[in-house]
Chains A and B, each alone.
Chain A
Amino acid sequence: MTSIAKPPVRHPGLPKNALGLTKRDYEGAMSTLCAGCGHDSVTAALVQAFWESDCPPHRAAKMSGIGCSSKTTAYFMKHSHGFNSVHGRMPSVTSGANAANRDLMYIGISGDGDSLSIGLGQMSHAIRRNVRMLYMLENNGVYGLTKGQFSAASDIGSTSKKGEANVQPPIDPCLLALTLGATFVARSFSGDKDQLVPIIKAGLAHNGFALIDVISPCVSFNDHEGSTKSYKYTRAHEVELTSSDFVPLRREITTPNADTEMTAVTMHDGSTVRFRKTHEGYDPTNREQAWLHVRECQKRGEVATGILYIEEGGKDMHALAKTVETPLVDLPYSVLCPGSKALDALMEEYR
């Protein structure tokens, strides 16, 4: 069962955001995932990020495909429309929804099976199209709902619960996204909420496709010795390439940008991503360097995290298609239908 309603308990003392909403207002149905599932931590980070971002829940749309990760769209923001579509096809459904109504905030939740196997093409082409959306790839390197098969994110040599070693090379969604021209590429870890929340907020402010690959261990089928997607392995091998803060537009930046190592990127809406520290002079605005760095980490068995690449000022799907600013769903029929005069005139061309 994926939707057990939570009992409406009132907590009058809970802090409120600018909209007067508490974090409880950003929660959803009770999770039915396994206790300790990384995905639930990601859900909690999403709730935190949306609450902190003062996002009106009904102006967001939660999109997903099929799998454990895709179930989580039911577990946050119950006041948002949600769409649990078909396996691997969430990117196309989101592309269409965004084409129709560009004013909503689209949050796609996917997994490594949903995105890197059955939906690899769909994810890739949504990146190429530059659909403005937050794309959370909850990556546990395993098929959970079907009980433990390797996924396309499994590393060579990583073992299954039964001890079998994976032999096929993994697909790294961040390297792929960098290659395809994605303008926001990040990786994080479900066990590091402090890192994840600002990344989600930055991703939400990004004017285009924002990929966040979140290593999110599967406690039931992929958290054992020998797995490279376990809590233990990820903690031991995480290399934070960047550490960032997200500063919304209306909040004044109080600390002057004195640190020479610190870079700041201004987002489309005027908000700022500040990089508190970067790894060995890592430049998150240099696509080629980012790719090489992530690839080097991968070769060493390390998990590169942080905002790996960011590029503001690119054109999203609507800018590329030169669509009107008004969402297409709001155009009245009188604007859309050319009418009898136009048809009569047109008929002369078919004689």
Chain B
Amino acid sequence: MSQINDFAFKMGTVNGTGSASANSILMQAIFRMGIPVTGKNIFPSNIQGLPTWYEIRVSKDGYTARPPEIDLMVAINPATYKKDVACVRPGGYLMYDSSWPMPEELQRDDITILGVPFGTMCVETFERDRDRTLLRNIAYAGALAALLEIDMDVVHEMLNEKFGKKKALLDLNFTAIRLGYDYAKANFECPLPFHLKRMDETSGHILMDGNTACGLGAVFAGATVGAWYPITPSTSLMEAFKAFCEEYRVDKATGLNNYCIIQAEDELSAAGIAIGANWAGARAFTNTSGPGISLMQEFIGLAYFTEIPCVFFDVQRVGPATGMPTRTQQGDLFSLAYASHGDTKHIVLFPANPEDAFYLSITAFDLADRFQTPVFVATDLDIGMNDWMVKRLQWDDTRTWDRGKVLNAEELEKVKSFSRYLDVDGDGIAARTLPGVGAKGAYFVRGSGHNKHGAYTEDSAEYQEVLDRLALKFHTAASVVPAPEFFVQPDAEIGIVSIGGCHAAVLEAVDRLKDQGIVADYMRIKAFPFCDDVQEFLVKHPVTFVVEQNRDAQLRAMLAIETGVARDRMTAVLDYGGEPLTARGVVSAVTTHLQGAMV
């Protein structure tokens, strides 16, 4: 079987030693050769000294999910040799640093072991300790370039872009790349049976991570206030927002900022700042991860009940508790959709990749303003922190923001009187005013019981009237939030439902199932609340699989609660170990279940 442009390789290194830069050079070089490529960083919650891995998948067919298997392992970290040698597919390869005698644990009869003395070569070539460590990574990139036929011109071009301004550093990197490249050429049969060949499948695409995309989305949405508390894996989202603001939001005449970023003392405060800023009329957001969402619960309820727009980005990580901060999961679905005490329900958007994250971030701000309510953008570590190959982002300059029903001074003059929570249009959405607009528009925000005029109440009927209108508003939202994406085929026998970061793997799984004669319709949920199409899909497919990354089948439960379709009619396909989903996992769960059902 030809494995040109269709394989995966993985680097096992020690974090804090500079391997990230070598890995990104490899991935970007492949991308520039026109070949679809994906990278998954599997890293520790640590700054230096613990094992870290990077998987690069090359897929001529454009699959972007985590690779189903590893063809070549680059084992640089002796601490993980055992695990690393085990992950190689039979017939695959393992490259290790042969500066030291080969340890017994690397023995495996059904794979080919390639030893390259990276350490020795670097010690002999470079003088400084730091160079010897850092450049060992560039050296293995060189060896891979030889083994996989990565275009050396492209690699040189990239090193030039990266280090061009620092001649000495550039020379060191050139030398290191050649060390690995020349050694591999001289000692192994290059290229390996699986290798690269130029294509033209990446033009019109970019490599971007989801946190960057969300930060950029917030800028394009017109957000001016960002409040946050640092937390993995969402930190780089605000860093991206800041970097883009520094680029696009500095007033040319004065050098002053058309934005205000506040690093708060905790997530509670971050939520309060974002809510306060939205109340005052800015577009504001906060970004966090599961533990932060837990802390923000009270404020989320306040914003829901007092009807203040606010966008929350939740880059999900493995819970509960501190969990595994650098691993991915979709465990926050319940805690987002029904966040806070009392009767609350929230709009949640589920991007599937960074491209989607950019557009849905912008949608989130529009929805928050339109429905005057918290809106969550739920990504995960895999989407947020890994580089994905996605379509170039585009912008239509005729697009503007939807600020919803906000009465300005002129409009206020025209109304007889202003009541903050009066549903004039019958859609459950009342008009708001911004502080400072004028005495007529003044009202008092209170999280305590209030009536439709915004006045304090302890009267059952008045309170219920407000609560029922909130339910109506949520019902209106169901038909306005992004509808699911459907992938249907003629004569489908089963239905698959999935969400967020699972999308890439499920799409691939649908193809692999078809190879086996199992035809599946697939519905990718993009938002909560669910529109009518969601229920229709479930009803139409008596055999439905719900694929998600948590233990408790949270999406399946929400589908059952919100659509009335019996929970046990839907088969849960769960993956919650913290690593990105693979198509293989989905295929095997589906086929195993179907075989069981046939017996």
Contact = CB atoms under 8 A, between A and B. Distances in A.
A95 interface: yes
A296 B458 CA distance: 47
A99 B299 contact: no
Contacts of B276: 83, 85, 92-100
Nearest to B443: A81
Interface string B407-441: 00000000000000000000000000111111101
A346 to B, nearest CB: 8
A338 B272 contact: no
Interface string B239-274: 000001001110100111111111011101111111
B435 A3 contact: no
A93 B276 CA distance: 4
A223 to B, nearest CB: 26
B279 A93 contact: yes
A125 B447 contact: no
Contacts of B258: 324, 328, 331, 335-336
Contact of B401 (A104, A321, A333): A333
B265 A96 contact: no
Interface in B174-209: 205-208
A342 B436 CA distance: 34
B31 interface: yes
Contacts of B443: 81-82
Interface stretch (A55-63, A150-158, A193-201, A260-268): A55-63
B120 to A, nearest CB: 36
15 contacts: A74-B444, A84-B447, A86-B447, A89-B268, A92-B268, A95-B273, A100-B280, A124-B265, A125-B264, A321-B257, A324-B258, A329-B280, A336-B219, A336-B258, A338-B247
Interface of B: 31-32, 205-208, 216, 219-222, 224-225, 227, 244, 247-249, 251, 254-262, 264-266, 268-282, 284, 298-299, 302, 392-397, 400-401, 433-439, 441-448, 455-456, 458
A84 B279 CA distance: 12
Given A85-B302, A129-B262, A58 B437 contact: yes
Contact of A350 (B206, B248, B262): B206
A100 B261 CA distance: 11
A83 B513 CA distance: 56
A95 B394 CA distance: 34
Interface in A305-351: 317-318, 321-325, 328-329, 331, 333, 335-340, 342-343, 346-347, 350-351
A1 B272 contact: no
Contacts of B205: 351
Contact of B256 (A61, A325, A335, A351): A325
B339 to A, nearest CB: 14
A347 B393 contact: yes
Interface of A: 1-3, 57-59, 61, 73-74, 78-86, 89, 91-101, 103-104, 121-122, 124-125, 129, 317-318, 321-325, 328-329, 331, 333, 335-340, 342-343, 346-347, 350-351
Given A99-B276, A347-B393, 5 more contacts: A58-B436, A85-B445, A98-B276, A99-B277, A122-B268
A96 B254 contact: no
Contact of A85 (B225, B259, B272, B458): B272
A74 B445 CA distance: 10
Contacts of B265: 121-122, 124-125
A336 B271 CA distance: 22
B534 to A, nearest CB: 32
Nearest to B272: A92
Contact of A97 (B277, B395, B456): B277
A101 B436 contact: yes
Contacts of A98: 276, 280
A93 B264 CA distance: 11
Contacts of B433: 81
B261 to A, nearest CB: 7
A95 B262 contact: yes
A50 B185 CA distance: 83
A81 B299 contact: no
B29 to A, nearest CB: 12
Contacts of A337: 219-222, 401
The 3 A-B residue pairs with the shortest CB-CB distance, nearest first, are A96-B276, A92-B272, A100-B282
A329 B222 CA distance: 10
B207 A351 contact: yes
B277 A89 contact: no
B224 A328 contact: yes
Contacts of B278: 96, 100
Given A340-B396, A351-B206, A99 B225 contact: yes
